[in-house]
Structure 1
Amino acid sequence: MNICRIFIVALLLIVAITGSVFAAEIWVSPKGSDKNTGTQQQPLATVAMALRKARELRRLNDGSIKGGIRIVVEKGLYQLSEPLFIRPEDSGAADSPTIIEGADKGETIFSGGIHINGWKKLEGNIPGLPLNVAGKVWVANAPLIGDEVVNFRQLWVGNTKATPAREADAPLMSRILSWDHQTQSCWIPKPAAFDTLHIKGMEMFIHQWWAIAILRVKSAKVAGDSVRLSFYQPESRIQSEHPWPAPWISKKTGNSAFYLSRSVQFLNQPGEWYLDMEHRKIYYIPRPGEDLSTATATVPVLENIVKIEGTIDHPVSYFSFKNIGFQHSSWLRPSKAGLVPHQDGMYMLDAYKLKIPGTPDKKGLENQAWVGRPAAAVEVAYASHTTFEGCRFEHLASTGLDYQRGTHDDEIKGNLFKDIGGTAILAGVYSDEAQEVHLPYNPTDKHEICTNERIENNLITDATNEDWGCVGIGAGYVKGITIAHNEVCDVNYTGISMGWGWTKSINAMSDNHITANKIHHYARNMYDVAGIYTLSAQPGSVISNNYVDSIYKAPYAHDPQHWFYLYTDEGSSYITIKNNWCRAEKFLKNANGPGNVWENNGPQVANEIKKAAGVEPAYQYLLKYKTVNREGQPINYKSE
């Protein structure tokens, strides 16, 4: 009898944990073969084949899937040659979910990159390379796919991102002298030993208000101690025609800062690299202690590592990722068409100033813009009841995880986002490419709206390190979203941004909650900023019990005082902001609509609220991965 009772208790425990004793398992291992059966003893080699097997089990309604399908991926590096595509046919059900799970937490990596091997010390010199680095430069063949050289914008040596060769050593930048909007050109101070013979591939990175721009240099003309730069289209026209944000010209605070990069003539510091596409060579100066004969050098190839995509009538549902690492995504938009962002990393496809202001929604509006959305390592669209839990998003060129549209009832919980080029987590439509950004989005089919998403207990650190104008967590037109108990630190702009459209008109947004998050060490480089920032009408939305502190003193801010802890920007309406702890009552309420309620925000907020913000105890193991102010940058501790 005792044995029977023990068996029943054990069985109930298994059911409680897995949902059923009949769940199917498919195993994957770096040592496996796709000709194997997929058992633990005979694992497959690829997750794609495991997914195919799972799809067949569902198609045939195999009895083994009664409690779901668990694809167990053993620890190791899985370098993908194409994105892992999750389709409607891969969907599970409430009582039979599909889970892709790493067997060892943090040890299973899906990579969109490839390794660079065969490094040798450069013998002699090459045209344009500074003479003072002779004997310090290493060289390897750039990889080929087919007969084409792989283009890339990032290089990681080990787990450390290298720096594209730049003329001003980070974090220093120069300042533009002037911008000519008519000729679409600018004047800059002449860099030391500037060589106009080696500008092929050169880029200009420019800081302007709350965004940056990356412009491909077409020509450079030296005149005394100055250089006139012209740029390729389409970024040349967009950069010179759009009114906001634009190059900053100010005798009081200094003109917009910039640096030049991606030219062999700038390769002069340890940790810098240069790609010569024409001759298929990569050049790199190792940091102290790096040995390229043994180090792992990785460049990204895939812009998407995973795509979960259904249709509005047939969404992907009940599909989860657990304990998986996503690494080495690419993003080539700046190399192909330049990059002129509008806000939150949404880049302008077209933009200009109206000669006669006024639109149907805003009579005085003079700014017109249409935007695109950056690629993400993991993209989700038309899906429901999906989960990312205990995953690691690291060493990614652009957005980490993006719930784009048509999603609902999903969870992003207990994940690490570190070394992210753009925004760590995005959710919701911002503007479709065909819709002007200031027009309210409110689709007839409400299934298009990202609804009831939960973003909880994630650590976001060292994000926005490529596009400084991106954010830690960004939510566009969302409904019923909960952003709670996350920690966001070491970002270049805003911690959490919610809303889009700059409009008081009722739109798709309502009933959103930003609660008990810890946001600190933000605005490292960009101002017109806050720890939490909102746009447009959002009836029933609440921002409460958050901790916001330690905003950086951005070295090149257009207005050194234009930083805030909380910021309700244009059109923000029907939002309750209460019980948020911050060091001072430095808030901005800019062109707000009706219905906002501000209550008890500032240093007087109860200590219990302050202490409870951030990741909850069960997820605090993530905190060992955070990075904070490694360069010792000054902090704004109080309103000035």
Structure 2
Amino acid sequence: MPTHRRAALVTLATAVLALGVPALAAPAEAASSDVYVSPTGDDHADGGARHPVRTLQRARDLARARAGDLASDLTVHLAPGTYRQSGPLALDARDSGTNGHRVIWQGTGTTVVSGGRKVVGWRQVPGRSGLWSAPAPQGLTDTRQLYVDGVRAQRARGEVPVRLTQTATGYTASSDAIARWKHPSDAEFVYTSGEALWNVERNGLGQWTEPRCRIASAEGTTITMAQPCWDNSNKRVEFPDIPGRTVGMVGPGHLTNDGKASYVENAYELLDQPGEWYLDRSAHRVYYLPRPGENLARADVEAAAAEQLVDGRGTADAPVHDIAFRGIRFSYATWLTPNGPEGFSEIQAGYTVTGGRGWATQGLCQYVEGGTCPFASWTKMPGNLAFTHARRIEFADDVFAHLGASGLELGAGTEDASVRGSIFTDISGNGLEIGGVDGQAPASGVQVTDNHLYALPREYHGGVAILNGYTRNDTIAHNQIDHVGYSAISMGWGGWPDKIGDPATPNPSHGNTVRDNLISDYMQMLDDGGGIYTQGLTGTSLADGEKVTGNVVHDQWGLGKSVYTDNGCTYETVEGNVLYHASYANVASRHTDYRDGLGNNDPTLVKDNWWEEGTADGDNKGLVTTGNRIMASPSDVPPEILAGAGLEPAYRSLLDRRIGARSVPEAPSRVGTSTAGPDALYVTFNPTFADGGSPVRSYTARAYDSTGRQAGQQTVAATDFRRTALVRIGGLPAAGGPFTVTVTANNDVGGSAPSLASLPLSPTTATVLPGAPTSPKLRTASMAATLAWTPPTATGDAKVVGYRVTVSDGRAPVDVTGRDVLVTQPSAKGMFRVLAGLKAATTYTVTVAAVTAAGTGPAATVTATTRP
């Protein structure tokens, strides 16, 4: 569960009334056309209150027969319990409401629509301490997800056990270790990406992606990778006259770092940590290493089997319409495409390159011969619940959890749909997808309000909480989004051509609004994103362009911006937001408007925000900044502005709803080290954003010598790590290096599995001081100022771990630490800090100096006068 909570609660009666979750109506009160369903019902029954049917499909057929000429809403009453689906509940125009009335699928809050298969018959595996196995459930041929008491288990994973040298079709390995595995073709290489930091390898297809490709075969030392995933990840066509620039204009043309995999997943031989599992498809058996406290004799173990739970498929001429889903939990669906030859060759936000020659033609339109159009129309991750050509579809008080693709997809041709009062969590990819980018009918009039989205994505870490493509007049308002791996809200598409001086792809978007959302603890795993990220044309003018207003966005972890106006983002208004604790910018990314030859910037209005950036008012060729206020802390902001963001009072009880059993946290990721002296290492990592339902209290870093023996450890409180982003392990033996480090996250339940290990590093004595920071600026208000600077060009013989700021009014020096100190350095991005408590119309001199293991370097100095 998230660590940020609302203090205000409402009574149960008020919440039930607001969320519209009545108990099953008494038979005497029910409309005669209503249908009743129970897990213990009988599909030969008439579906009346006293004779319910058993399956959703039979209930649909009865409702379909009764919905042709409604005089009132028709309710399908779903009794408490689990409704297991081997395939989706398929709906079309015949299942729609009529005469202005709806067909309402009404659950009780404990109604579960499940695509899972229960795994039973567990026995200990002889000769493998702690390992258990059970026969795979009837009908389960493959899956990517297993859950124990509602807690996601981790597919067996570990370090690649061999050195890999990339070839045209895969790799040459340093030994035949992988070829000797039981089923090497089950294994999947994962290529993690992130901002280059310390000695962390930067693999993948851009720091916002995490592609995956399966092994096709391993014979001796020859590893052949599955096609077309391998070519789609390594042969993306590039402009012949622009070195390194792909025609897709998003990320590199091939896996970086010589195609080295960051880790390998899904092999029996990797089962070595509690909470890991493996499905042996040929033997039809499931293997699992229980976590402490789990009892497989009593546990509810669910293997996700169905790939869709609801499929609402209308057409432009016969849309599916006027249907509501209320009080239902949708769980235990999978997505099997990444297990196959397509793999997961990611572009951005869960979109992938697919097809035999996807690398050469898909979405490349006019830029290559045979390119498919429109530009950037790559393959979207599907939703486990999906609607196309749907009108007036409603989801209210629902839960989307334990899902293996995107949670809910409101696709092409969706109009006037609403999603409110619902929870999205523990989803492998995107939480909610709206519209598309493939030239089909845009979504329009979609209302996404008062939902809680958190602890996602759990598998495809480049996914986002809410993905909005080419849409019109959508509203995303009063949602709380926290603890997510990448961007929280992603809007628009197709702006990348400005990288080569072309205008953004024309699209039908206009009139979209993102307002009054509360976003925190975002970009916990990947980089180059934002709390609210937008690219491409958003309208035809500032009047009908996208409005980003009244949002509170804070506590970014990775490299990015609070509100990120990326390539081609045109006609966006960013007004009245509260934006703080970002790395190098609160708002905007200046881009040239290539629709004419005037050299102006994409028209953007940044107005009346509370922020830390401190940029002065002005008009930079169409990028207008005006009326923004420097804030030193949230206490500077009027309380009513803060209170107006996030869930409205009637919905704040969503924050207290527990999904799944309490468990240990997910392991941290991307562990990197740097020298901290002759016998010490600094350790940094990405904290877990899935805390197991109990807040993370601390992290423990453990160093291991070259023989694998533990050489030192250090525990840091989660609150301290949040402030410093560092753990220091001292007292390491001088002759024991190089050392690798793993990190565990600890909550009230226990400790996570160890993270994957850092690269090996030996501590060294640091003696060369860093240079002075560059380009210092002091952006002043009357009683505060923003100090901005960029990292030193020379860091000496150690990494920058902090900055020391002095102010001429005699206050104690300010030590600047945190993740932004670490991620802005290798990218040479600027950073900033607010200095509070200043006097109006007063001249101040401020210095800033970099700190490394060698000490504090020379300072850069800047002088400015505060405003009257």
> Please, what TM-score do these two structures have when normalized by structure 2?
0.61
Q: Is the 8 A contact 1:195 1:265 kept in 2?
A: no
Gaps of 5+ in 2: 1-21, 193-203, 237-245, 369-373, 496-502, 594-601, 613-628, 632-636, 659-664, 666-688, 697-717, 726-817, 821-830, 833-868
Mapping of residues 455-466 of structure 1, within 5 Å: 455-466=448-459
Note the C-alpha offset of 1:563: 1.6
Which residue of the partner structure matches residue 35 of structure 2?
26
Among 265, 273, 280, the residue aligned to 1:276: 280
8 Å CA contact 1:32–1:44 kept in 2: the answer is yes
Within 5 Å, give how 1:29-428 maps onto structure 2. 29-59=38-68, 61=69, 65-93=70-98, 95-102=100-107, 104=108, 106-124=109-127, 134-145=128-139, 150-168=141-159, 183-185=168-170, 196-198=180-182, 199-207=184-192, 208=204, 209-219=207-217, 229-242=223-236, 243=246, 244-246=250-252, 258-337=262-341, 338-349=343-354, 350-352=357-359, 359=366, 371-428=378-435
Q: Deviations over 1:34-78 (max 9, x none)?
A: 22222222222122212211111134x4xxx41120111111011
What's the secondary structure of 1:99's corresponding residue?
strand
**Structure 1 residues 27, 368: CA separation in 2 closer, same or farther (over 3 Å shift)?**
closer
- When residues 24 and 293 of structure 1 are mapped into structure 2, their CA distance, relative to the original with a 3 A threshold, is same
TM-aligned CA deviation for residue 23 of structure 1: 6.8
Task: Note if contact 1:485-1:615 (Cα within 8 Å) is conserved in structure 2.
Answer: yes
Corresponding residue pairs, total: 564
The CA deviation string for residues 148-172 of structure 1, in whole angstroms up to 9 with x for no partner, is x51001110111111111114xxxx
What CA deviation, in whole Å up to 9, does each residue of 1:452-495 have, x standing for no partner? 11011110011211101110000001011100011111211110
Is the CA contact (8 Å cut-off) linking 1:449 and 1:508 kept in structure 2? Answer: yes
Equivalent pair of 1:393/1:416 in contact (CA under 8 Å): yes
> Within 2, Cα distance between the matches of 1:267 and 1:359?
48
CA contact (8 A) 2:89 2:310 kept: yes
SS at match of 1:323: strand
Change over 3 Å in CA distance of 1:230–1:473 after alignment to 2: same
Q: Contact between 2:125 and 2:133, CA under 8 Å: does it hold in 1?
A: yes
Deviation, structure 1 residue 522:
1.2
Change beyond 3 A, Cα 1:353–1:512: same
CA–CA separation in structure 1 for the residues paired with 2:329 and 2:271: 32
Q: Secondary structure at 1:520's aligned position in 2?
A: strand
Moved more, 603-612 or 405-414: 603-612
**Aligned counterparts of 2:40 and 2:138: Cα–Cα separation in 1:** 26
- Contact persistence 2:87–2:307 (CA under 8 A): no
Matched, 1:579 2:576: yes
Q: Distance in 1 between matches of 2:366 and 2:163?
A: 33
In the alignment, is the contact (CA less than 8 A) between 1:497 and 1:533 conserved in 2? yes
C-alpha distance in 2 between matches for 1:456 and 1:352: 38
Name the residue aligned to 2:656. Answer: 624
2:233 match: secondary structure: helix
Cα shift at 1:311:
1.0
**8 Å Cα contact 2:231-2:359 kept in structure 1:** no
The code of the aligned residue for 1:245 comes to: G
Moved more, 530-539 or 195-204: 195-204
Listed as ranges, the gaps of 5+ residues in structure 1 are 1-16, 125-133, 362-366, 432-440, 554-561
Amino acid at match of 1:384: R
Indicate if the aligned counterparts of 2:517 and 2:645 stay in contact, CA closer than 8 A: yes
**Counterpart selection for 1:595 from 603, 612, 618:** 603
List structure 1 runs of 4+ shifted beyond 6 angstroms: 173-178, 187-191, 254-257
Name the SS for the 1:372 alignment partner: coil
1:24 and 1:67 in contact (8 A); partners too: no
Pairwise CA distance, 1:230: 3.7
What is aligned with 1:434?
Answer: none
Cα distance between partner residues in 2 of 1:388 and 1:121: 43
Kept after mapping to 1: 8 A contact 2:331/2:401: yes
Deviations 1:16-45 (A, max 9, x none): x99x99573211112221222222222221
Q: Distance in 1 between matches of 2:261 and 2:516?
A: 35
Aligned partner of 1:454 in structure 2 is 447
- Compared CA separation, residues 343 and 109, structure 1 to 2 (3 A): same
- Local SS of the residue matching 1:543: strand
RMSD: 3.1
Q: Give the Cα–Cα distance (whole angstroms) in 1 for the partners of residues 93 and 37 of structure 2.
A: 22
SS in 1 for 2:67: helix
Q: Residues 275 and 423 (structure 1 numbering): CA distance in 2 closer, same or farther, change over 3 Å?
A: same
Deviation at 1:220, TM superposition (A): 5.2
When residues 473 and 190 of structure 1 are mapped into structure 2, their CA distance, relative to the original with a 3 A threshold, is: farther
2:532 and 2:563 in contact (8 A); partners too: yes
The structure whose Rg is larger is 2
Identity over the aligned pairs, expressed in percent?
27
Cα distance change of structure 1 residues 248 and 231 upon mapping to structure 2, 3 Å threshold: closer
**Alignment-derived partner of residue 508 in structure 1:** 508
State the shift of 1:264 in Å: 1.2
CA displacement at 1:370 relative to structure 2: 5.2
* In 2, Cα distance between equivalents of 1:167 and 1:21: 56
- 1-structure distance, mates of 2:218, 2:56: 49
In 2, the alpha carbon distance for the partners of 1:215 and 1:423 equals 19
Distance 1:100 1:531 in 2: 34
Change (3 A) 1:190 1:524: farther
CA–CA distance in 1 between the matches of 2:482 and 2:397?
Answer: 19
Aligned match of 1:13: none
1:475 maps to a residue whose letter is N
CA distance in 2, matches of 1:351, 1:21: 54
- In 2 relative to 1, CA 175–591 (structure 1 residues): closer, same or farther, beyond 3 Å? farther
**Partner secondary structure for residue 51 of structure 1:** helix
* Cα displacement string for residues 188-223 of structure 1 (whole angstroms, at most 9, x for unaligned residues): 8989x766444231110112311111111235588x
1:12 aligns to what? Answer: none
State how far apart, in whole Å, the 2-side matches of 1:405 and 1:189 are.
48
Shift in alpha-carbon separation, 1:152–1:248, aligned structure 2, 3 A: closer
Instruction: Report what 2:9 is aligned to.
Output: none
How far 1:521 sits from its partner (Å)? 1.1
Distance in 1 of aligned mates of 2:133 and 2:384: 28
SS in structure 2 at match of 1:609: helix
1:151 partner amino acid: D
| Pairing of 1:487-636 with structure 2 (within 5 A) | 487-502=480-495, 504-539=504-539, 540=544, 541-553=546-558, 562-583=559-580, 585-591=585-591, 593=593, 594-601=602-609, 602-603=611-612, 604=629, 606-607=637-638, 608-625=640-657, 630=691, 632=718, 634=722
**After superposition, what is the alpha-carbon deviation per residue over 1:272-306, rounded to whole angstroms, capped at 9, x for unaligned?**
11111111111111111111111111111111100
One-letter amino acid of the counterpart of residue 615, structure 1: L
Q: Which amino acid aligns with 1:233?
A: Q
On the 8 A contact 1:23/1:68 being kept in 2, the answer is no
Question: Hey, what's the Cα distance between the residues in 2 that align with 1:600 and 1:164?
Answer: 47
Take 2:188 and 2:456, find their aligned partners in 1: how far apart are those partners?
22
CA distance in 2, matches of 1:98, 1:400: 22
Distance in 2 between residues matched to 1:272 and 1:315, nearest whole Å:
43
Question: Amino acid of the residue matched to residue 25 of structure 1?
Answer: D
